[in-house]
Structure 1
């Protein structure tokens, strides 16, 4: 990919959800600049594998590798369509912490992240990556919510 030197760098946290894709699309349609350099970050799911058979471990690792490769191809194509330079990185650990750390490493100007739109109870139980990033990032964070999330939450 093209060099990031002299460009405004941003980190876009992604997973295989529609929310991540909508967040990137929002950035492209509303905030994109010609001198931007995008660093996509994906944190694969961590599995508790103690006691699992070698066959199960191997299957889960292969599935995770395939999923990451598919995401990388998808988002590299989205960069190409948007005529933007960038790269794809993966990280391990708690996603919110990894996003903040990578943004620091990349000297990013801001972070773009989607929101799953969890309700208060589910967010308290499951945690929220976007909440974690907003509260721990030293740089601006754009949390993108899809309008349908608000309609869904009002019905729930």
Structure 2
């Protein structure tokens, strides 16, 4: 009986909202577009509300020096990051259009792991979908894994979509 009491408010909230909300992370990698396409095939077809999020790095996270020329370097890096974000969003939009799916697309500046968890919370997501870059243990330990962080910290279910291994 206690189990039913816990799930009833969640079911009522979803019924009040009307639709399942799915947040999908995209960046400039093929892994993220594979995850987006997986979501369109498996989740969006059910009528879920789709929110696509691109976490744009801040220029300061890339340029970490001061002194003469730092301001110009920051402007150049920021312009490049904006161009990348526009290309990511444009590609995501084209994939959605090709699949006849409407999606809200957001570009949010910040560290991807925090941006994605915050977006999932802000949109009251039922599911957060991220692509797996397939890093080995050492690279994952050095760089950190966005999907691993999200799996442990997001306030909703997290689907980590892996690209199928090619069969030789």
Q: TM-score range with shorter-chain normalisation? A: 0.7 to 0.9
CA RMSD after TM alignment: 1.9
Contact 2:40/2:101, CA 8 A, preserved across alignment: no
1:40 paired residue number: 52
1:104-151, Cα deviation, whole Å (9 max, x unpaired) = 1011110110010111111011100000000111211110111238x8
Structure 2: unaligned runs, 5 residues or longer = 1-16
1:135 paired residue number: 152
Instruction: Choose 1 or 2 for highest CA Rg.
Output: 2
2:6 paired residue number: none
1:11-47, Cα deviation, whole Å (9 max, x unpaired) = 0011000000001111222233342221111112332
Q: Distance in 2 between matches of 1:66 and 1:97?
A: 22
2:115 matched to 1:98?
yes
* Higher share of residues assigned helix: 2
Contact 2:19/2:48, CA 8 A, preserved across alignment: yes
Q: 1:29 aligns with which of 16, 19, 41?
A: 41
Contact 2:39/2:129, CA 8 A, preserved across alignment: yes
* Count of residues in Structure 1 that have an aligned counterpart in Structure 2: 146
Contact 2:63/2:74, CA 8 A, preserved across alignment: no
1:124 paired residue number: 141
2:28 partner SS: coil
2:62 partner SS: coil
Contact 1:13/1:41, CA 8 A, preserved across alignment: yes
2:27 paired residue number: 15
1:148 partner SS: coil
